[in-house]
């Protein structure tokens, strides 16, 4: 039996708008007391009318343009009817027949070159509220803060062929959406979550599809799909049938939880929302948004490889976040030694950054470049540079000022070092005798003494030469 895994994803992404999709309520509900960010519109009170948030439409268009989707001039909102305690309207406003964007693709990067994953559609919809289960008290509470928060749903074609590939796709999609500032995609806050469907094709014959709902981490996507592929495979091996079914995923137990057999799409009785006019998107709007698209992560990586000749690893690390990547580019403009900048950023700066919640280094790129130039010119030692960087980072003071104030500049003044060499020789008769008796190691000790006198600022090569000259006389 020759089996192949076939996976498609439906990804829900919370758009980075300040207000909800159809009302002025704040979307900043995370951690807020329950049921505070609500109004008659998002609560679905009779007679309350939705007003479309233009920014949400714009962000959906930006995502669609960056993913190469086709944007029809006409799209509209439909009502998806179903009953659920966290959906007080009794329907969700979504897009069904005429979504805002169709088609598109994402090229997977990685070993073996790009594989194209086709997208089927991208549409706008509102989120529902949240049920908060309280098993100890034997009750479930409803929090409607999330009702009406704008989402885009991105649906892929079943082009993914392994759980690992599905997770990789999701990571890349997340990175693009973050570059575009369409969404923060904070998965812990549920700003990016995904439903995955999987079937096994046996000897080229596509099998029954099952769905896993609400996966909210890359690890969950990979593990849940692996478990489902295994479950289907063992059913087929025992000669049993795979039933059309929906599962949840329990990440703690690492277990699929059967939820329900899937309803047909007809059950939702979609129809055009009579409260909202159809959307008309003209060419000028699309053109304006297309011109404003930032360089996307894969484009950046390709350009950096060409322009900066950096190792792939460096490029991957430094393009992970757009803020970091742009910081790097700015520093390289001022100090055109890409590999040097990369080394310093990856070891020192990202370490300092990791200690904070800041998305970009708070040390201005100009200051960072100033420090690298001082190291490059030999004004300070590399190790001194690390200390200065740390201080500049924490205090926000210019590195030059720190170096001057703390007297950290390297002493390469020969007369000054010669005087100190004489002092060391006078103070260390034992080591001097050892050296003269042929013990080379004693010289190292004397150099150390001299450097100690300068608090490490003496040029070690120069110090060794001056000492040797004196001792050989």
**Which spans of this chain sit near Zn ion (rule: CB under 5 A)?**
23, 25, 39, 41-42
**Token digits of residue 150:** 């704008």
Query: At which residue do the structure tokens 């885009």 appear?
Result: 152
Whose Cβ is closer to Zn ion: residue 13's or residue 42's? 42
CB 64 within 8 A of CB 103: no
Determine the Cα–Cα distance for residues 161 and 420; give it in Å rounded to an integer. Answer: 70
Whose Cβ is closer to Zn ion: residue 148's or residue 297's? 148
> Exposed, middle or buried by CB within 10 Å (0-12, 13-18, 19+), for 74?
exposed
Determine the Cα–Cα distance for residues 468 and 462; give it in Å rounded to an integer. Answer: 10
Mind giving me the DSSP string for 378-394? Answer: TSS-HHHHHHHHHHHHH
- Residue 170 CB, shortest distance to Zn ion, in Å, is 30
Determine the Cα–Cα distance for residues 442 and 302; give it in Å rounded to an integer. Answer: 52
Whose Cβ is closer to Zn ion: residue 42's or residue 402's? 42
- Residue 187 CB, shortest distance to Zn ion, in Å, is 25
Which phi and psi (to 5°) does residue 39 adopt?
-150, 175
- Residue 86 CB, shortest distance to Zn ion, in Å, is 15
Q: Three-class SS of residue 104?
A: coil
Whose Cβ is closer to Zn ion: residue 35's or residue 246's? 35
CB 118 within 8 A of CB 153: no
- Residue 74 CB, shortest distance to Zn ion, in Å, is 27
Q: Measuring CA to CA, which residue among 148, 182, 165, 197 is closest to residue 64?
A: 182
**Token digits of residue 102:** 């169709």
Whose Cβ is closer to Zn ion: residue 195's or residue 275's? 275
- Residue 23 CB, shortest distance to Zn ion, in Å, is 3
Which phi and psi (to 5°) does residue 169 adopt?
-60, -45
In whole angstroms, how large is the CA radius of gyration of the chain? 31
Whose Cβ is closer to Zn ion: residue 24's or residue 114's? 24
Whose Cβ is closer to Zn ion: residue 88's or residue 103's? 88
Query: At which residue do the structure tokens 């990791």 appear?
Result: 354
Whose Cβ is closer to Zn ion: residue 42's or residue 128's? 42
- Residue 248 CB, shortest distance to Zn ion, in Å, is 29
Whose Cβ is closer to Zn ion: residue 25's or residue 166's? 25
Question: Residues for the chain: how many in total?
Answer: 473
- Residue 292 CB, shortest distance to Zn ion, in Å, is 29
Determine the Cα–Cα distance for residues 105 and 122; give it in Å rounded to an integer. Answer: 11
Whose Cβ is closer to Zn ion: residue 145's or residue 216's? 145
Q: Long-range contacts for 353-362 (Cβ within 8 Å, ≥24 apart)?
A: 353/324, 359/321, 359/323, 360/321, 360/323, 360/324, 360/326, 360/327, 361/324, 361/327, 361/393, 362/393, 362/396
- Residue 227 CB, shortest distance to Zn ion, in Å, is 39
- Residue 150 CB, shortest distance to Zn ion, in Å, is 12
- Residue 81 CB, shortest distance to Zn ion, in Å, is 20
CA distances from 104 to 135, 155, 175, 195, 297 (A): 44, 10, 17, 19, 17
Whose Cβ is closer to Zn ion: residue 42's or residue 167's? 42
Ranges assigned E (strand) in 311-379: none
Q: Which residues have C-beta within 8 Å of that of residue 380, sequence separation ≥ 6?
A: 374, 388, 403, 408, 409, 410
Whose Cβ is closer to Zn ion: residue 129's or residue 207's? 129
- Residue 50 CB, shortest distance to Zn ion, in Å, is 9
- Residue 22 CB, shortest distance to Zn ion, in Å, is 8
Determine the Cα–Cα distance for residues 169 and 430; give it in Å rounded to an integer. Answer: 68
Ranges assigned E (strand) in 188-301: 192-202, 205-206, 210-215, 246-250, 255-260, 271-272, 279-280
């Amino acid at each position: 039996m020759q089996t192949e895994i076939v996976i498609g994803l439906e990804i829900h992404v919370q758009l980075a708008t300040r207000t909800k999709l159809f009302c002025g309520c704040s979307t900043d509900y995370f951690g807020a007391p329950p049921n505070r960010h609500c109004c008659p519109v998002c609560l679905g009170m009779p007679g309350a009318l939705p007003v479309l948030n233009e920014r949400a439409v714009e962000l959906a268009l930006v995502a669609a343009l960056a993913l190469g989707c086709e944007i029809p001039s006409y799209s509209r909102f439909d009502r998806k009817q179903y009953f659920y305690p966290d959906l007080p309207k009794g329907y969700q406003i979504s897009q069904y027949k005429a979504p805002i964007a169709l088609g598109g693709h994402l090229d997977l990067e990685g070993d073996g070159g790009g594989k194209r994953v086709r997208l089927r559609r991208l549409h706008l919809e509102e989120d529902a509220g949240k049920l908060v289960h309280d098993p100890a008290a034997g009750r479930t509470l409803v929090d409607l803060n999330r009702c009406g928060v704008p989402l885009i749903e991105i649906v892929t074609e079943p082009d993914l062929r392994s759980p690992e590939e599905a997770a990789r796709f999701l990571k890349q999609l997340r990175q693009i959406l973050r570059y575009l500032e369409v969404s923060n995609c904070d998965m812990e806050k549920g700003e990016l979550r995904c439903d995955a469907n999987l079937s096994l094709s046996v000897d080229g014959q596509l099998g029954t599809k099952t769905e896993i709902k609400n996966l909210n981490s890359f690890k969950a996507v990979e593990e849940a799909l692996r478990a489902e592929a295994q479950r289907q495979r063992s059913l087929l091996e025992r000669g049993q049938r795979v039933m059309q079914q929906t599962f949840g995923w329990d990440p703690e137990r690492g277990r699929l939880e059967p939820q329900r057999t899937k309803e047909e799409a007809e059950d939702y009785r979609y129809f055009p929302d009579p409260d909202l006019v159809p959307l008309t998107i003209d060419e000028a709007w699309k053109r304006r948004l297309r011109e404003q698209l930032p360089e996307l992560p894969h484009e950046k990586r390709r350009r950096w490889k060409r322009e900066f000749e950096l190792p792939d690893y460096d490029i991957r690390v430094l393009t992970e976040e757009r803020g970091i990547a742009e910081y790097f580019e700015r520093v390289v403009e001022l100090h055109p030694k890409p590999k040097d900048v990369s080394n310093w950023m990856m070891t020192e700066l990202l370490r300092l950054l990791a200690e904070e919640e800041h998305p970009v280094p708070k040390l201005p790129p100009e200051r960072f470049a100033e420090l690298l130039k001082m190291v490059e010119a030999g004004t300070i030692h590399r190790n001194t540079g690390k200390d200065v960087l740390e201080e500049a980072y924490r205090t926000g003071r210019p590195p030059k000022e720190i170096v001057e104030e703390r007297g950290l500049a390297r002493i390469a003044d020969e007369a000054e070092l010669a005087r100190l060499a004489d002092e060391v020789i006078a103070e260390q008769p034992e080591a001097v005798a050892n050296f003269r008796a042929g013990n080379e190691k004693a010289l190292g000790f004397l150099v150390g003494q001299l450097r100690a006198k300068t608090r490490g600022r003496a040029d070690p090569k120069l110090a060794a030469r001056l000492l040797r000259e004196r001792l050989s006389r």
